[in-house]
Amino acid sequence: MIFDNYEHMDPFILYSGVNMELRDQNIDLEEFCKIHDIDMEKLQEILARAGFSYSPEANQFR
Please indicate, yes or no, if residue 62 is contained in any of the structural domains: no
For residues 14 and 9, what is the distance between their CA atoms, to the nearest angstrom?
A: 6
Determine the structural domain holding residue 30 and report its residue range.
9-52
35 pLDDT tier (thresholds 50, 70, 90): very high
Please indicate, yes or no, if residue 58 is contained in any of the structural domains: no
Which tens digits make up the pLDDT trace of 1-29?
A: 999 999 999 999 999 999 999 999 999 99
Please indicate, yes or no, if residue 43 is contained in any of the structural domains: yes
The pLDDT, as a whole number, for residue 60 is 98
Measured N-to-C along each axis, helices 11-25 and 40-49 cross at an angle, to the nearest 10 degrees, of 130
Between vectors from CA 26 to CA 21 and to CA 29, what angle results, nearest 5°? 65
Please indicate, yes or no, if residue 2 is contained in any of the structural domains: no
The pLDDT, as a whole number, for residue 57 is 98
Total of domains in the chain: 1
Please indicate, yes or no, if residue 45 is contained in any of the structural domains: yes
The CA-based diameter of the chain, rounded to the nearest angstrom, is 28
Task: Provide the residue type at 23 as one letter.
Answer: R
Task: Provide the residue type at 9 as one letter.
Answer: M
Question: To the nearest whole number, what is the mean pLDDT of the chain?
Answer: 98
